[in-house]
Amino acid sequence: MTTIMDRANALLIEFEQNANSLEKVTPDTVEELRIHWLGKKGIVTKLFEDMRHVPNEEKRDAGKSMNVLKTSIEASLDVLKSKAADFVFHSILNRAPLDITLPSQKDTLKGALHPITLMQQKLLKEFRQHGFTVYDGPETDFDFYNFTALNLPADHPARDMQDTFHLKTNQDIMVLRTQTSNIQIHAMLQEKPPLRIVAPGRVYRVDSDQTHTPIFHQIEGLVVDKKISFADLKGMIQSMLHSVYGATAKTRFRPSYFPFVEPGAEVDMQCTHCQGKGCKICKNTGWLEIGGCGMVHPNVFEAVSYDSEEYTGFAFGFGLDRMAMLNWQLPDLRQLFEGDAGFQSQFSVFAEGAPC
Ligand code: DAH
């Protein structure tokens, strides 16, 4: 009569034959083998159940040989599992190699200048043709340039309209500029009149909702000379907007208040999306505000020691983001800041200097 011990020994040999005959040692085949031998309904488990029928005096030896069988199988399975892991590792290595230095496929997304950059380049080109010099100015600036010298003293209520980010310094109050108008002051302190400058740049305000982003872009303009009038201002702005948006572009000036100009106005462009009929973009008004302008306030001239009796001037500040939005009829300002490569690549057709 075959005893459990004999069966256990025979099964160990059978298991080894099973293991050696595996065609491939993969995580799946090893797991199958484990289930077949040690699983809930596996051969070894059944053998343990048969222990019930073993006479008491043989139980000890039978149990021993079954434990030997079980631990031997477990040890072999461990070896097989690590072989299977090697198999997975090598099959990954042997896959078609990925050469990241190969040139990309033709149809992948093209890089392109950002619409705000395109709009800025277009405007600068236009202004240069009108004899303007392009100026740059600091994005972090002293309160003096961003506010005080622009006729916005420390407790002026109009400061509330431009809630900003303040920076701590030892010497003076500094801010992230809220407007490119700070460049007016830098330019006038550096140059003697007459003066004709434009200055594009990033500006910052504590503002974030569907139509406002904490960072946006403006382009500032300043002309100072003898006998400059509001008619010069209107003519300049209209001609600039015509050259950007075409001769049919309609503009309107609405009286408004900016502390650094008197009189001051807001400039609206007829909505290019609906041609003034009213749509979601222009909130059904047919018009979109693109910036402010006006005649330089005598207090500003005083702050930079220009003679306001001898000189007059006009200034304007436009939102570059708004202008780009209008130009390409973008439904949402946020598209300009999301960094979506699909959106961005569409602008690759507008190479530098090409008509937008
Ligand atoms: N700096 C103003 C703003 O950000 C815009 C502005 C209005 C600029 C009138 C000007 C101006 O130069 O004359 O709201």
Query: Which residue's CA lies nearest to atom 8 of ligand 1?
Result: 317
Domain membership of residue 104 (yes or no) is no
SS3 of residue 108 by DSSP:
coil
The DSSP bridge pattern shows strands 140-142 and 174-176 to be antiparallel
Domain membership of residue 233 (yes or no) is yes
Judge if 201 and 71 occupy the same domain. Answer: no
Instruction: List, in order, residues 6 or more apart from 210 with CB less than 8 Å away.
Output: 333, 334
Judge if 54 and 199 occupy the same domain. Answer: no
Q: Ligand 1 pocket, 292 CB below 6 A?
A: yes
Nearest to 308 by CA among 261, 256, 264: 261
Residues linked to residue 296 through DSSP beta bridges, in sequence order: 261
Judge if 176 and 48 occupy the same domain. Answer: no
Exposure pattern of 134-145 as b/e (b: 16+ CB <10 Å)?
ebebeeebbbeb
Ligand 1, residues 223, 293, 296, 300: which to mutate, most atoms within 8 A of Cβ? 293
CATH number at residue 128: 3.30.930.10
Judge if 142 and 221 occupy the same domain. Answer: yes
Domain membership of residue 101 (yes or no) is no
**CA 3 remoteness from chain centre:** 75
Cα-to-centroid distance, 199 and ligand 1 (Å)? 12
Judge if 179 and 328 occupy the same domain. Answer: yes
Domain end position, chosen among 63, 93, 123: 93
Domain end position, chosen among 61, 93, 125: 93
DSSP symbols for 209-274: BTTB-SEEEEEEEEEEETT--HHHHHHHHHHHHHHHH-TT--EEEEEE--TTEEEEEEEEEE-TTT
Q: Ligand 1 pocket, 147 CB below 6 A?
A: no
Judge if 77 and 192 occupy the same domain. Answer: no
Q: Ligand 1 pocket, 258 CB below 6 A?
A: yes
What's the structural domain count of the chain? 2
Judge if 142 and 210 occupy the same domain. Answer: yes
**CA 351 remoteness from chain centre:** 22
Judge if 119 and 88 occupy the same domain. Answer: no
pTM assigned to the model? 0.69
What is the 8-class DSSP label of residue 29?
Answer: H
Judge if 46 and 166 occupy the same domain. Answer: no
Q: Ligand 1 pocket, 300 CB below 6 A?
A: no
Length of the chain: 356
**CA 51 remoteness from chain centre:** 69
Domain membership of residue 87 (yes or no) is yes
Cα-to-centroid distance, 2 and ligand 1 (Å)? 102
pLDDT of residue 210: 64
Closest ligand 1 atom, CA of 265? 9
Q: Ligand 1 pocket, 316 CB below 6 A?
A: yes
pLDDT of residue 281: 79
Cα-to-centroid distance, 63 and ligand 1 (Å)? 93
Q: Ligand 1 pocket, 261 CB below 6 A?
A: yes
Domain membership of residue 120 (yes or no) is yes
pLDDT of residue 351: 64
Tokens representing residue 155 in the block: 């407790």
Q: Ligand 1 pocket, 294 CB below 6 A?
A: yes
Tokens representing residue 26 in the block: 């993969």
Region for 138 from its dihedrals, namely left if φ exceeds 0, alpha if ψ lies in -120 to 50, beta otherwise: beta
Domain membership of residue 256 (yes or no) is yes
Cα-to-centroid distance, 230 and ligand 1 (Å)? 15
Q: Which residue ranges of the chain lie beneath pLDDT 70?
A: 1, 104-110, 170-171, 210-211, 351-356
Nearest to 301 by CA among 138, 136, 150: 150
Judge if 77 and 122 occupy the same domain. Answer: no
Per the structure, the complete domain to which residue 202 belongs is given by 115-350
Domain membership of residue 103 (yes or no) is no
pLDDT of residue 14: 93
Domain membership of residue 102 (yes or no) is no
> In angstroms, rounded to a whole number, what is the distance separating the alpha carbons of residues 263 and 267?
13
Judge if 342 and 284 occupy the same domain. Answer: yes
Judge if 86 and 133 occupy the same domain. Answer: no
Amino acid at 28: D
Cα dist from 10 to 5, 14, 38, 61, whole Å: 9, 6, 16, 16
